[in-house]
Structure 1
Amino acid sequence: MSGADIILQVLAEQGVDTLFGYSGGAILPTYDAVFRFNEMHKANPERQIRFIVPANEQAAGFMAAGYARASGKVGVFMVTSGPGATNAVTPIADCNGDSVPVVLICGQVPRAMIGTDAFQEAPVFNIMSACAKQVFLVTDPRKLEQTLRSAFDIARTGRPGPVVVDVPKDVQNWTGPYLGQGTLQFRGYTDRLRMVAKGAYLDERKRSEFFELLGRSERPLLYVGGGVIAAGATIELRQFSERYGIPVVTTLMGLGALPSKHELWLGMLGMHGAACANYAVEDCDFLIAVGARFDDRVVGGHPERFAPAARYVAHIDIDEAEINKVKRAQWSHVGNARDALISLMEHDVFVRPPSDWRKRAVGFKRRFGMNYDRRSASIQPQRVIEQLSEMTGGRAIVSTGVGQHQMWAAQFFDFVEPRSFLTSGSMGTMGFGLPAAIGAQLARPDAMVIDIDGDGSIRMNIGELETACTYGIPVKVLLLNNRGDGMIRQWQRLFFDGRMFVSDKALHRKDFVMAAVADGFEFACRVDAVDDLEAQLRAFIEFDGPAFLEVMIDENADVFPMVGPGQSYAGMITGPFIPARLSQGDAAREVESGQIADMF
């Protein structure tokens, strides 16, 4: 077979049913192999590989990421050399930050031309090595098959992540045997996987140490991250939480790990986390981190001020590098979250924390719950998300761009299932929402997929509106338009004395509805009155096919709560509509009456 045909054989063997990518000279042999592969399987369409061509390579990467995040399978995209490869850097870095398994197959100039500054040559290995889990440059065509198979193994095992395979054009044209088996050998990586697998289940001593700490604590709290979803451990998390009566807070990436309306779920914690979740973190005396990495949007710049009352910290993570990286743990375990929770629940001694802590923590949701200006004549973005959540019953896959709309979606949509909230967490990449929604819809064709986006964020990859219509992908695009970069404006109001610079897009002349119509959307509407919102939202959801709804929201709406720069959770700004503690310095005191917090 040719190298290009070998690539297709490995993709088929790995169960790949969808590819995303943009063509170019250095990857053309493999694109031709896709065509021939599908022609060969014309009689069996289920064996064909669907190919989606976006407006640019960055969007191809986000589509692959959306596919992977929604399905749990490895997403695959293919690009050409030079600018095709450099356009793919952002989605690779994004997937690396959020531990998303994707494989990028990248065309490269022929081996003899590497290093000569040839046309559309880029040092892919050098560039990608800084932001991928693993990068391969295939210089020996006899190892192409094993390299590709290894790429999938590495992407999905351990802590998932992106793998890049750079394939020179002459390697794609090379002819050699297809073996149908074999991978490359990486002793260090294999040894680490073996070590994690060997320690999957905790021994009695390790379990006893954990439950001794739990027995000493009076206010334990589960701090849950995206690792629980990646490990498929959401059922075990729920069982563990309910069995021991431990309240749960989740990160942005952990939303959906526990149903939003579950009694023990207190909300998302962090910089824009729910006040009730952050207050629970302030009060807890035993913090149990599962599949979470203590990132700066959760911990802030002063780790010692995060969970200040916690006498003990336990940390379960698949990646040993995360243990004690930010917050010192008195008890830790390197391993899969699902295996660890199952193993802990097999412990003979039953420990249940005092019920007054559970009641107190659950009471936080009533006293310090999310709220906003419900009497405003302007459309409040929080109301839009609330109504959308109610209409869908929380059973939709939601993707977002990055900015205020991202936080409102995280705060006000009641997620029911894991893998239903797709967002750029670590990198915070604007333009992520629309292509990710397209990838998710292709991965989960029976699900309702909604891109909740902002006017600034959607501009970044607005060309993908055409992609959705071209392929008849029935994504719903809900645009919250506040005529500007709202999060930047919020920071400028709060921390830069109101000096508005580059954040006001009021003079931009983009008519998003006309753009959607031009790209083929049969449902494309705008709402600017509160009284019209509910009916338009319902029509938007019920429309059969791609739908676009622009909602003109209050331009002055802000995201609260907010933990400002250098602040701890005790100094959290709750805004004018969410109650705060009377004495934020004393984590033990609670508000007996709903008092409005000052903004500064």
Structure 2
Amino acid sequence: MSGADIILRVLAEQGVETLFGYSGGAILPTYDAVFRFNEMHAAEPERQINFVVPANEQAAGFMAAGYARASGKVGVFMVTSGPGATNAVTPIADCNGDSVPVVMICGQVPRAMIGTDAFQEAPVFNIMSACAKQVFLVTDPTRLEQTLRTAFEVARTGRPGPVVVDVPKDVQNWIGPYQGHGTLRFRGYSDRLETLAKGARLDDSKRDEFFDLLRQSERPLLYVGGGVMTARATAELREFAERYKIPVVTTLMGLGAIPAKHELSLGMLGMHGTAYANYAAQDCDFLIAVGARFDDRVVGGQPDRFAPRARHVAHIDIDDAEINKVKRASWAHVGDAKDALSSLMEHRAVVDVHSAWLEQVQELKRTYAMNFDRESAAIQPQHVVEKLSEITRGRAIVSTGVGQHQMWAAQFFEFVEPRSFLTSGSMGTMGFGLPAAIGAQLARPDALVIDIDGDGSIRMNMGDLETASTYNVPVKVLLLNNRGDGMIRQWQRLFYDGRMFVSDKSLHRKDFVMAARADGFEFAVRVETTSELDEKLKAFVTFEGPAFLEVMIDENADVFPIVGPGQSYATMNTGPFIPSRTDQEGRIGGSGGKYTSDMF
């Protein structure tokens, strides 16, 4: 069969049900193979591969990412050579930063033309090598099948990530045998996987060391990241926390690892984490990091000021490069979070309950509870998210763009289940929310999927409103419109003496509701007063098809708490509605101080 047909055969073998992509000359043979594959299985619709065409290649990558994040499967997208490939750099880098398994199949000019500056030629291998987990350029067509199979294996194993397969057009047109088996062998990568497998279970001495540290502590704290979700270890995490009565803080990517209303949950920590989560991290004497990488949005620029009272740090991560990279660990284990937590609990160690610490944590939650201006006549964005969480009971898959709306969603939506919060954590990519929601909805057709977006972010990939209506994907798009790039405005107010440059969009003429209607949304509604919010939110959530709700929010609403440049958790700015351990005058913003943007 042709190389293009081999690609489709491997995709079917790997269980791929949905593909995302935009066409072009160099990938056309494989697109034709998709058509012929589905035609061949016309009598068996369940074996056909659904193909979704977005507005552009970046959106195709984010749809594949949303599919992967919501399902745990490998997301797959196809693009053509040249600009098709370069448009896909951002989603590949995004997936690499957030450890999301996707495979990108890219068309390339024929082998004989590589390096001649041919039409729509780009050095995909060179470009993508800097931001993907692995890149393959297929120059030997007899190895195409094994290369594709290996791409899926690399994407999903170890620390997951994006894999790019660059396939020249003549390789797609090549005719050869389909073997039905075989992968490439990478000695270094295979050896690492074997080492991980051998070290998955902790021996008695290693477990003894951990529990010795736990017994020495009076204020232990679990610091949980997205690695717990990747390892499908949320049940083990909850059991571990409950057995040893250890409070839990999560990163942005770890939201949903433990239900928000669980008595041991303190929510998100970090730059915009809850005040009580940050204060707990400030107070703890034993920090137990599981599937978290001590990134700068959590640790800041000075790691020694993060968890300063922690006499010991334990770190469990599947990537040995993360151990001691930022914060030095007293005890560390390289391995899968699920296996590590299970292995620790097999030890049956007896540990005293830290009752005083648990009481202190509950007092932190009561004293420094999240809050906002509940008396304002203007619609407060926090109230919108809070109300949405109440209506859905926290049982929705929520995607976001990047900015203030992203943080309000993280702070005020009470997630119940894992893989419920899909957001661009490491790259912070505006425009992520809508295509990711579409991908997630296709992965989880029975779930309620809501894109909480901002007027700045949604502009980036607004063309995919049409994608949702074209394919009748019943995503719900909740637009929090503050007529500007809100997070930039907040920083300009706090740190740049209020000089609003390019962040104010009040003069822009975009009518988002009209645009949604033009793109085929039958439900496209605007909310301008608090009195109409509840009714329209409920109608929005229960609408059967794609729905668009624009809420005109308070343009002056800010995200608090904020750990600004040069601050630690001890001196974070909690804003006017959340109590702080320090006096108002001692907080950033309260004294009108000036700060540079080097931490932004």
Q: TM-score, normalization: structure 1?
A: 0.97
SS of the residue 1:253 aligns to? coil
Question: For residue 445 of structure 1, what is the aligned residue in structure 2?
Answer: 445
Question: For residue 164 of structure 1, what is the aligned residue in structure 2?
Answer: 164
1:45 maps to amino acid:
P
Question: For residue 595 of structure 2, what is the aligned residue in structure 1?
Answer: none
Q: Is the 8 A contact 1:5 1:33 kept in 2?
A: yes
Q: Is the 8 A contact 1:574 1:599 kept in 2?
A: no
SS of the residue 1:211 aligns to? helix
Question: For residue 550 of structure 1, what is the aligned residue in structure 2?
Answer: 550
SS of the residue 2:472 aligns to? coil
Are residues 279 and 534 of structure 1, via their aligned partners in 2, closer, same or farther at CA, if it must alter by over 3 Å? same
Percent identity reads: 81
Matched, 1:279 2:272: no
Are residues 321 and 444 of structure 1, via their aligned partners in 2, closer, same or farther at CA, if it must alter by over 3 Å? same
1:32 maps to amino acid:
D
CA distance in 1, matches of 2:399, 2:583: 37
Question: For residue 364 of structure 1, what is the aligned residue in structure 2?
Answer: 364
Which string of whole-angstrom CA distances, capped at 9 and with x for unpartnered residues, describes residues 175-206 of structure 1?
Answer: 00000000000011001001011111100000
Between stretches 301-310 and 362-371, larger displacement belongs to 362-371
1:529 maps to amino acid:
T
SS of the residue 1:442 aligns to? helix
Q: Is the 8 A contact 1:71 1:443 kept in 2?
A: yes
Q: Is the 8 A contact 2:571 2:582 kept in 1?
A: no
Question: For residue 591 of structure 1, what is the aligned residue in structure 2?
Answer: none
Which string of whole-angstrom CA distances, capped at 9 and with x for unpartnered residues, describes residues 502-545 of structure 1?
Answer: 00001110000000000000000000001010111011011110
Are residues 388 and 599 of structure 1, via their aligned partners in 2, closer, same or farther at CA, if it must alter by over 3 Å? farther
SS of the residue 1:502 aligns to? coil
Matched, 1:199 2:199: yes
Matched, 1:20 2:25: no
CA distance in 1, matches of 2:590, 2:500: 22
2:439 maps to amino acid:
G
CA distance in 2, matches of 1:348, 1:227: 24
Matched, 1:466 2:474: no
Q: Kindly state the Cα deviation for residue 454 of structure 1 after the two structures are TM-superposed.
A: 0.1
CA distance in 2, matches of 1:565, 1:353: 37
Q: Kindly state the Cα deviation for residue 362 of structure 1 after the two structures are TM-superposed.
A: 2.1
1:503 maps to amino acid:
S
SS of the residue 1:249 aligns to? strand
1:150 maps to amino acid:
T
Which string of whole-angstrom CA distances, capped at 9 and with x for unpartnered residues, describes residues 259-283 of structure 1?
Answer: 0000000110000000000000000
CA distance in 2, matches of 1:584, 1:269: 21
Question: For residue 486 of structure 1, what is the aligned residue in structure 2?
Answer: 486
CA distance in 1, matches of 2:11, 2:458: 31
Question: For residue 343 of structure 2, what is the aligned residue in structure 1?
Answer: 343
Q: Kindly state the Cα deviation for residue 566 of structure 1 after the two structures are TM-superposed.
A: 1.7
Match runs of 1:311-326 below 5 Å: 311-326=311-326
Match runs of 1:408-557 below 5 Å: 408-557=408-557
CA distance in 1, matches of 2:196, 2:313: 21
SS of the residue 1:419 aligns to? coil
Q: Give the superposed CA RMSD.
A: 1.4
CA distance in 2, matches of 1:7, 1:541: 39
Q: TM-score, normalization: structure 2?
A: 0.97
CA distance in 2, matches of 1:63, 1:354: 44
Which string of whole-angstrom CA distances, capped at 9 and with x for unpartnered residues, describes residues 368-426 of structure 1?
Answer: 11100000000000000000000000000000000000000000000000000000000
Match runs of 1:551-590 below 5 Å: 551-582=551-582
Q: Kindly state the Cα deviation for residue 353 of structure 1 after the two structures are TM-superposed.
A: 3.9
Question: For residue 330 of structure 1, what is the aligned residue in structure 2?
Answer: 330
Q: Kindly state the Cα deviation for residue 599 of structure 1 after the two structures are TM-superposed.
A: 7.2
Question: For residue 42 of structure 1, what is the aligned residue in structure 2?
Answer: 42
Question: For residue 231 of structure 1, what is the aligned residue in structure 2?
Answer: 231
1:95 maps to amino acid:
C
Q: Kindly state the Cα deviation for residue 350 of structure 1 after the two structures are TM-superposed.
A: 1.2
- Tell me the matched-pair count: 592
Q: Is the 8 A contact 1:108 1:166 kept in 2?
A: yes
Are residues 384 and 585 of structure 1, via their aligned partners in 2, closer, same or farther at CA, if it must alter by over 3 Å? closer
Question: For residue 140 of structure 1, what is the aligned residue in structure 2?
Answer: 140
1:27 maps to amino acid:
I
Q: Is the 8 A contact 1:159 1:318 kept in 2?
A: yes
Q: Kindly state the Cα deviation for residue 363 of structure 1 after the two structures are TM-superposed.
A: 2.0
Q: Kindly state the Cα deviation for residue 348 of structure 1 after the two structures are TM-superposed.
A: 3.2
Q: Kindly state the Cα deviation for residue 365 of structure 1 after the two structures are TM-superposed.
A: 1.1
Which string of whole-angstrom CA distances, capped at 9 and with x for unpartnered residues, describes residues 139-170 of structure 1?
Answer: 00000000000000000000000000000000
Match runs of 1:56-75 below 5 Å: 56-75=56-75
Question: For residue 295 of structure 1, what is the aligned residue in structure 2?
Answer: 295
CA distance in 1, matches of 2:161, 2:371: 36
Which string of whole-angstrom CA distances, capped at 9 and with x for unpartnered residues, describes residues 77-114 of structure 1?
Answer: 00000000000000000000000000000000000000
SS of the residue 2:262 aligns to? coil
Q: Is the 8 A contact 2:283 2:307 kept in 1?
A: yes
Question: For residue 405 of structure 2, what is the aligned residue in structure 1?
Answer: 405
SS of the residue 1:525 aligns to? strand
Matched, 1:261 2:261: yes
1:157 maps to amino acid:
T
Which string of whole-angstrom CA distances, capped at 9 and with x for unpartnered residues, describes residues 434-493 of structure 1?
Answer: 000000000000000000000000000000000000000000000000000000000000
Question: For residue 120 of structure 2, what is the aligned residue in structure 1?
Answer: 120
Q: Is the 8 A contact 1:266 1:362 kept in 2?
A: no
Q: Kindly state the Cα deviation for residue 364 of structure 1 after the two structures are TM-superposed.
A: 1.2
1:42 maps to amino acid:
A
SS of the residue 2:359 aligns to? helix
SS of the residue 2:90 aligns to? helix
Q: Kindly state the Cα deviation for residue 585 of structure 1 after the two structures are TM-superposed.
A: 14
Which string of whole-angstrom CA distances, capped at 9 and with x for unpartnered residues, describes residues 18-55 of structure 1?
Answer: 00000000000000000000000000000000000000
Moved over 4 A (4+): 582-586, 597-600
SS of the residue 1:254 aligns to? coil
Match runs of 1:175-190 below 5 Å: 175-190=175-190
SS of the residue 2:164 aligns to? strand
1:47 maps to amino acid:
R
CA distance in 2, matches of 1:347, 1:555: 54
Question: For residue 592 of structure 1, what is the aligned residue in structure 2?
Answer: none
Question: For residue 598 of structure 2, what is the aligned residue in structure 1?
Answer: none
Are residues 29 and 79 of structure 1, via their aligned partners in 2, closer, same or farther at CA, if it must alter by over 3 Å? same
SS of the residue 2:51 aligns to? strand
SS of the residue 2:106 aligns to? strand
Q: Is the 8 A contact 2:224 2:291 kept in 1?
A: yes
1:130 maps to amino acid:
A
Question: For residue 217 of structure 2, what is the aligned residue in structure 1?
Answer: 217
Q: Is the 8 A contact 2:584 2:590 kept in 1?
A: no
SS of the residue 2:314 aligns to? strand
CA distance in 2, matches of 1:354, 1:236: 20
SS of the residue 1:194 aligns to? helix
CA distance in 2, matches of 1:553, 1:357: 39
Question: For residue 391 of structure 2, what is the aligned residue in structure 1?
Answer: 391
CA distance in 1, matches of 2:81, 2:3: 17
CA distance in 2, matches of 1:489, 1:186: 48
1:68 maps to amino acid:
A
CA distance in 2, matches of 1:76, 1:348: 42
CA distance in 1, matches of 2:258, 2:371: 21
Gaps of 5+ in 1: 587-594
Q: Is the 8 A contact 2:585 2:591 kept in 1?
A: no
CA distance in 1, matches of 2:18, 2:458: 24
SS of the residue 2:550 aligns to? strand
1:491 maps to amino acid:
W
Q: Is the 8 A contact 1:490 1:558 kept in 2?
A: yes
Which string of whole-angstrom CA distances, capped at 9 and with x for unpartnered residues, describes residues 537-559 of structure 1?
Answer: 01101111000000000000000
CA distance in 1, matches of 2:352, 2:524: 53
